[in-house]
Amino acid sequence: MSKIKVVHYINQFFAGIGGEEKADTPAELHKGEVIGPGMAFQKGFGEEAEIIATIVCGDSYFNENIDKAKAEILEWVKDLAPDLFVAGPAFNAGRYGVACGTIATAVQEELGIKSMTGMYVENPGADMYKNKVYILETRDSAAGMRQAVKSMTAFALKYGKGEKIGASVEDGYMNQGIRVNFFEKERGSARAVKMLIAKLNDKPFTTEYPMPVFDKVDPMPAVKDMAHAKIAIVTSGGIVAKGNPDHIESSSASKFGEYDIEGLCDLDESTHETAHGGFDPVYANYDSDRVIPVDVLCDLEKEGVIGKLHTKFYSTVGNGTAVASSKKYGAEIAKLLKADGVDAVILTST
Amino acid sequence: MRLELGKINITDIQFAEESKIDNGVLYVNAEELKPLVLEDEKIKDVYFDIARPGESVRITPVKDVIEPRVKVEGKGGVFPGWIAKVDTVGSGKTYALKGMAVVTAGKIVGFQEGIIDMTGLGAEYTPFSKTLNLVMVCEPIEGVKQHDYEPAVRKAGFRVAARIGELARELVPDETVVYETQTFKEGIDKYPDLPRVGYVCMLQSQGLLHDTYVYGVDVKQIIPTIISPTEVMDGAIVSGNCVSACDKNPTYVHQNNPVVEDLFAQHGKTLNFVSMIITNENVYLADKQRSSDMTAKICRMLDLDGVIITQEGFGNPDTDLIMNCKKIEAEGIKTVIVTDEYAGRDGKSQSLADADVAANAVVTGGNANQLVILPKLDKVIGTLDYVNVIAGASDHTLREDGSLEVELQVITGATNETGFGRLSAR
């Protein structure tokens, strides 16, 4: 059997070009080159598969020029005609994950070429694309590279050879919202007894069929009298007082902070900064009003358009933060806002 | 209650002059069994055949699967209410013929009879490809209605299984397992630190050929009650239903209920297996409400800490499953539910007809809608006349080359909801 031909997609960081400052690097085709994590993949593939080209693209470039970048890359992949397209792994890098998901899906859907990627389960790219393309679950940072390469290599070879892909739990890809049958090692009754014993002892267990439940929040009715309303700001953009006194994490935040802005009508680099690790912080640090519009709301208060800007704002970092944590912080913040008589909230994200 | 279950391993079945079990081989004189079946005037004729694991044999339409057993010590006899009188069973000593089953088959009763393949892909999905099967193919008299014919075939199956079980009465079992539960006070005294666990077994009772019987009583007519898990080992619960073959519980599954076995395996170690609770799956809302209320109340009265709930059938009974789960959890009792799924052939649909956040611990027997191609096999025991109309089949089922395109639904026991098999889905 001839070798499986693979084209590999990575971002500017993993290509060794640079970090955030090089995120605008346009797409590049490196024919016959194996770059960055590709080396580990190639080692894992052994004689069974070969990376015939590596495509490198800056995360900002891809996301800001999505149509152009996609068209360029698809053209290259079409000419290369690989058996398999592998993107990433992107771990918990949001824009890289979205880029991997977008391009992997496009290659599969538009060129009919088998395609896959890998990332952390909470990467926004996962939710966007897990039902469209195989996404192997990785850890949240590049510290999990070895593991990611191992599982992605095994999957790539199986998939590339055209072997039958089993259920998500068997082959380590994220559940695609499609129920797939497979044989467990133990019969159902034994699994049920084990699950019950775990549940009785407050030990973790995993249901085999998560009940479809949607946490829908009905929007409040519109504020009728803005001229007398007290408005607050809440953000997941990570704006904190200068020096990040609460030490809010740059990713997977374990807390939220409360910050006093009484008498402030403009945030600048002497007063505030962002703790967020998921975007280039330069402009947010330079003028935090870009993330939470204190300046504009202050003006509106003076003009009588709104009754009052609440003197405190609440902030956490949305980057890599679990939905369960976000929900918890949201509930706590809501309680504080209610106690202070706030009528409406402007939520900003990044 | 204490029951000794003696297991007699059957290694082959052969037709012979004399019916007997010798050195693990079951010899059957079919002519002797025939009158036993034809006792019922609704059955015109019957013939017997043998299907062994690995043989290129397809059995269809399959109605019930029964394990021959005999009660050698203690009160009552097997299949109380049908073969034996209604004395309470579940104590003393019972022998079971392991590795074999009596399979009732033949002209269709409802539309929900099944297929048992002894080899090929289909064999992987049915537990009864691993048993030596003595198949009785029945033929009804002209003009008999399904609801009259169903009990005739059902009872004939029990008569044959009980007669074969009798052959083991004087034998020495290859292995004996003792199953013992304590009374409530004894259990608390003996296992003060172990969680008290119950098993809620939902029995198919939608009616119109979807029925189950306990001690001869139609389960539609019962209100939930407690029984000793050893009672089912003597055939206290039998199947009378024609629900889709994949997730109905043949009598064999009741006799060998895997939840009962696996809870007994943990009894006195990680948990105290207090009781089995049986309830029904009637179609009227008042019945559903009454039964689920009663079931939750019994769990509370027994001071249970946890229960496993198993279902039979799908769709309408999903609501009973979720009602039971919700109400039992609301009593502060932890639940695990065992079900199967109808997620569509593409696996993309919602799997159950009902859902609730309380059902956070689910074991699934897999997606019954999954399409499979079963190869043509050399021999058919029964008939392929109905293979395009049984549940899970379609007009396209029987293909030109003799293979069958079917959903797993048609395969007896494929997605069993007592956790009898290893099939699952994610």
B340 vs chain A: nearest CA distance in angstroms?
10
Q: Do B262 and A193 touch (CB under 8 A)?
A: yes
Q: Could you please report the per-residue DSSP string of B77-140?
A: -SSBTTTB-S---SSEEEEEEETEEEEEEES-SSS--EEEESSSHHHHH-GGGSSEEEEEEEEE
Query: How would you classify the pairing of strands B196-203 and B306-310?
Result: parallel
pLDDT at A257 over 90: yes
Q: How confident is the model at residue B124 (pLDDT cuts 50, 70, 90)?
A: very high
- The answer to whether residues A167 and A264 belong to one domain is no
**CA–CA separation, B194 vs B267, rounded Å?**
9
A185 in a domain, yes or no?
Answer: no
Distance from CA of A205 to the nearest CA of B (A): 8
Q: Do A184 and B336 touch (CB under 8 A)?
A: no
Establish if A183 belongs to a structural domain: no
What was the pLDDT predicted at B351?
87
C-alpha closest to that of A175 among A187, A183, A166: A166
Read off the pLDDT of each residue in B31-39 and give the average, rounded to a whole number.
96
- Residues A162, A262, single domain; the answer is no
In chain A, residues with a C-beta closer than 8 Å to the C-beta of B336 are 192, 195-196, 199
Is residue A189 assigned to a domain? no
- Looking at the structure, do residues A149 and A8 belong to the same domain, yes or no? yes
Q: What is the mean pLDDT of residues A47-64?
A: 96
Please, which pLDDT band fits residue B109 given cuts at 50, 70 and 90? confident
Number of separate domains in chain A: 2
Is A205 domain-assigned?
A: no
Say if A151 falls within a structural domain: yes
pLDDT digit string, tens, across residues A77-116: 999 999 999 999 999 999 999 999 999 999 999 999 999 9
Do A150 and A39 lie in one domain? The reply is: yes
Q: Are residues A108 and A231 in the same domain?
A: no
B299 tagged catalytic: no
ipTM of this model?
Answer: 0.97
Please indicate, yes or no, if residue A27 is contained in any of the structural domains: yes
Q: How many CB pairs under 8 A join A and B?
A: 145
Confidence of residue A278 (pLDDT cuts 50, 70, 90): low
Q: Is the per-residue pLDDT at A140 higher than 80?
A: yes
Specify the pLDDT at position A215.
61
Using the Cβ of B289 and the Cβ atoms of chain A, whether some distance falls under 8 Å is answered with: no
Nearest CA in chain B to A206: B361
- Pick A208's closest partner by Cβ from B197, B363, B416: B363
Task: Tell if the CB–CB gap between A208 and B426 is shorter than 8 Å.
Answer: yes
- Asked whether residue A329 falls in the same domain as residue A230, the answer is yes
A240 and A106 together in one domain:
no
Cα–Cα separations (whole angstroms), residue B8 to A85, B70, B95, B256: 57, 11, 7, 14
Residues A14, A147, single domain; the answer is: yes
The answer to whether residue A136 sits within a structural domain is yes
B405: closest CA of chain A, how far (Å): 17
Pairing of strands B175-180, B2-9: antiparallel
Subunit contact B422:A213, Cβ cutoff 8 A: no
Give every CB contact of residue A105 below 8 A, 6+ residues apart in sequence.
A115, A129, A132, A133
Is the Cβ–Cβ distance between B371 and B352 less than 8 Å? no
> Of A171, A204, A236, which marks where a domain is finished?
A171
What part of B 329-358 touches A (C-beta under 8 Å)?
A: 334-336, 338-339, 341, 343, 346-348, 350-352, 355-357
Please report, for chain B, the start and end positions of each structural domain, with discontinuous segments joined by +: 2-410
Report the candidate in B419, B418, B388, B417 with the shortest Cα–Cα distance to residue B405: B388
Closest CA to B169 of B228, B97, B236: B97
| Residue A193 DSSP SS3 | helix
Percent of chain B with pLDDT over 70: 100
- Regarding whether A141 and A25 lie in a shared domain, the answer is yes
pTM of the model: 0.78
- List Cβ neighbours of B251 (8 Å cut-off, separation of 6 or more): B64, B65, B66, B67, B157, B158, B235, B237, B238, B239
> What is the span of the domain harbouring residue A328?
226-348
Q: Is residue A160 part of a domain?
A: yes
